[in-house]
């Protein structure tokens, strides 16, 4: 019986869409399941869907799910960069080229009908979501906000005519040795010259105006330096505020302010929850919440989530200040290792990790293909 495609239109099919990777990766010790409730929210009510269009499909062998894909059009991205691009994500398949071809060709046909001439991915609606096919580092367990896939995905994607658009790099670093002495001296000089100081994150989380300022700086910081960046809308800021801000801690993160109490730079890290998510197996209840709560209070491994500086503060050495502050905190809390967030290989900022004891951890790739 040939494989067939099914558009996801019912709640039942949506649950099958979300659960498929649990079965596909059931025997894979590196795979980190996402919470099913979070996935359903992302696919049905994410703030990005106020302006993005998307379709989802399952590939079936009889009634057995053997693949899935979501195709998206982000008009804000296309307007910003002058493109006619669709994107694909939530792409998972068994090791069969005919299944991958069926999924990708269906996404491409929809994209062409939407007037698109290119398709790229794996991507999320915006820059904050999981993105990039894993092409190196399959032996490692990824941070919770990063994709994992089997090595055969590379062969399947490239057999379908996709080419590399860009790569993101991640490093694993020793986190309990502090910053090099040269960086420590530079941090002291910069802090004194510009009168910058760390602010209380506990106070920040109680101040809506400071939170809005954080996201304004986030948007401005990455607007010209992050490849394919799409600034957050107000609705996305509200969504991210509810999802992430409560978990930022003075123990692992740093906010820097100038003498007028304006936010100038930030570095945010979370304790690794990857193993806790493996134990939760996609569910908060009955015991998933307990594994996650414990992980959020265990600091041996940290995931470096995001860092940046307001445009007017870039190229002043300000990063040395928050890296020094964060490194000192990591020694105090007993952190031993840190995993960097994916950074595009063409961004000179990735070279900051050359100053630290580090090893390559993962490499991720965005693929692109012309379709019209």
pLDDT in tens, 69-120: 999 999 999 999 999 999 999 999 999 999 999 999 999 999 999 999 999 9
Question: d(Cα 295, Cα 29) in Å, to the nearest integer?
Answer: 18
Tell me the average pLDDT across 39-61: 98
Higher pLDDT, residue 315 or 146: 146
Work out the percent of the chain whose per-residue pLDDT is above 90: 88
The confidence score (pLDDT) of residue 356 equals 72
- Please give the pLDDT value at position 224: 75
User: Higher-confidence residue: 97 or 128?
Assistant: 97
Interval 299-334: pLDDT, tens: 999 999 999 999 999 889 998 999 999 999 999 999
Query: How far is the CA of 25 from the CAs of 19, 32, 51, 270, 330, in angstroms?
Result: 11, 9, 32, 25, 33
Domains of the chain are 4-167 (3.40.630.30), 176-335 (3.40.630)
What is the pLDDT, as a whole number, of residue 242? 95
User: The pTM is what?
Assistant: 0.95
Q: Is the pLDDT of residue 350 over 60?
A: no
Q: Which of 18-27, 55-64, 179-188, 263-272 comes out lowest in average pLDDT?
A: 179-188
The confidence score (pLDDT) of residue 60 equals 98
Give residue 351's pLDDT: 62
Task: Give the range among 10-19, 141-150, 180-189 with minimum mean pLDDT.
Answer: 180-189
Predicted confidence at residue 322, as pLDDT, reads 92
Question: How does the average pLDDT of the chain come out, rounded?
Answer: 95
The pLDDT of residue 225 is 78
């Amino acid at each position: 019986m040939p494989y067939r495609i099914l558009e996801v239109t019912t709640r039942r099919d949506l649950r099958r869409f979300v659960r498929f990777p649990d079965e596909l990766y059931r025997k894979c010790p590196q795979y980190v399941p996402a919470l099913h409730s979070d996935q359903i929210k992302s696919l049905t009510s994410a703030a990005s869907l106020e302006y993005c269009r998307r379709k989802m499909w399952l590939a079936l062998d009889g009634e057995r799910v053997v693949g899935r894909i979501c195709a998206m059009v982000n008009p804000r991205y296309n307007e910003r960069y002058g493109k006619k691009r669709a994107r694909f994500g939530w792409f998972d398949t068994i090791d069969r080229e005919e299944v991958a071809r069926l999924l990708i060709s269906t996404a491409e046909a929809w994209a062409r009908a939407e007037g698109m001439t290119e398709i790229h991915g794996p991507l999320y609606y915006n820059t904050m979501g999981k993105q990039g096919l894993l092409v190196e580092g399959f032996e490692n367990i990824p941070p919770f906000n990063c994709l994992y896939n089997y090595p055969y995905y590379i062969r399947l994607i490239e057999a379908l005519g996709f080419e590399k658009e860009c790569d993101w790099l991640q490093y694993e670093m020793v986190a309990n040795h502090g910053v090099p002495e040269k960086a420590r001296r530079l941090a002291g000089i910069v802090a004194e010259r510009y009168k910058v100081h760390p602010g209380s994150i506990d106070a920040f989380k109680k101040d809506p105006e400071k939170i809005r300022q954080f996201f304004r700086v986030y948007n401005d910081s990455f607007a010209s330096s992050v490849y394919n960046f799409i600034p957050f809308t107000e609705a996305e800021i509200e969504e991210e505020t509810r999802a992430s801000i409560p978990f930022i801690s003075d123990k692992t993160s740093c906010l820097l302010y100038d003498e007028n109490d304006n936010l100038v730079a930030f570095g945010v890290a979370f304790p690794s929850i990857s193993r806790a998510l493996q134990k939760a197996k996609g569910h908060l209840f009955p015991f998933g919440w307990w594994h996650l709560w414990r992980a959020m209070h265990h600091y041996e491994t940290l995931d470096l989530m995001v860092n940046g500086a307001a445009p007017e503060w870039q190229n002043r050495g300000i990063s040395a200040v928050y890296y020094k502050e964060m490194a000192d905190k990591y020694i105090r809390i007993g952190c031993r290792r840190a995993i960097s967030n994916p950074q595009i290989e063409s961004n000179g900022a990735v070279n900051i990790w050359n100053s630290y004891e580090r090893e390559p951890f993962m490499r991720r790739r965005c693929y692109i293909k012309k379709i019209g």
